[in-house]
Amino acid sequence: MRRSIFRICLVVLVVATFSACEKAEVPAPENQSITELKKGGNGGPAPTVTTYSGRAIAIDATIWTNLNGTVTNVGAVLGMSIMMPMAGGTITASEPSGTIPGVLTSGALFASTSGQNNTSISEASATSLSITLGTNIITADYIKTTATTGCGAVPSGTVQITNLKLNGMPITVTGAVSQAVFLPNSNGGMIILNERSGTKKRGFYSITVTGMHIIAPDQQADIKIADALAGTGC
């Protein structure tokens, strides 16, 4: 009789212990999807990757010639950095001087673009400029532009112009965006200072800043001095 009672108690004890162990297990939540696990395990957004874009050109000129009805497009790009890769980095270019025969001469030219730490910066500069378009002569000691974009920041740019003259007369640089100076004895020709344009699309911000843009239709010329582009995708 005692052996029967002992066996019954032993069976009850084993069953109770097994049941307790089963209840101690904590099952994985059934409502957590694979997509949420890939995002970080808690359904939060996946980490973003910053992309960069930029290039800089000291002198970008297009001159058209018309000889016996044949139009020839003569382009000259001097002091230009190549386009920055999306991964970022730093690219620079420089030339000791620049020349477009019969139209332009300059001193040292410099261009750079850089992307890192969620910010893109491009800058371009030209020194000792002399540009002849018909009867108009445009000179400047120094022109420099900087374009900057970054995650969480408003795109910005700066322009520095020193001793700008038109036909020997000083031009007051106001700092206003797209300041226009009309060329005398020219059919619609003008100089645009501190020219800017920008884009914003799906988290990508870019800005282009041009220190001086000369448009001379009668001389068939379009010349940009110190042109900088910067872009950042966040």
The pLDDT value given to residue 229: 97
Helix, strand, or coil (residue 21): helix
DSSP string of 167-213? TTEE------TTEEEEPTTSSS-EEEEEEEEEEEETTEEEEEEEEEE
pLDDT at position 185 is 87
Task: Report whether 122 contacts 112 (CB < 8 A).
Answer: yes
Specify whether the CB–CB gap between 208 and 196 falls below 8 A. Answer: yes
And the tokens for 88? 């970022």
For β-strands 98-100 and 221-233, DSSP reports them as unpaired
Which pLDDT belongs to residue 11? 35
CA distance to 11, 143, 192, per residue, from 106 (Å): 101, 11, 19
- pTM for this structure? 0.77
Residues (pLDDT < 50) of the chain are 1-44, 46-47
Using DSSP's 3-state secondary structure scheme, residue 7 falls into helix
Task: Mark out the alpha helices in the chain (DSSP H runs).
Answer: 2-24, 34-39
Helix (H) or strand (E) holding 222: strand 221-233
Structure tokens at 178: 């797209």
* CB 108 within 8 Å of CB 78: no
Q: Kindly state the tokens that stand for 142.
A: 């120094």
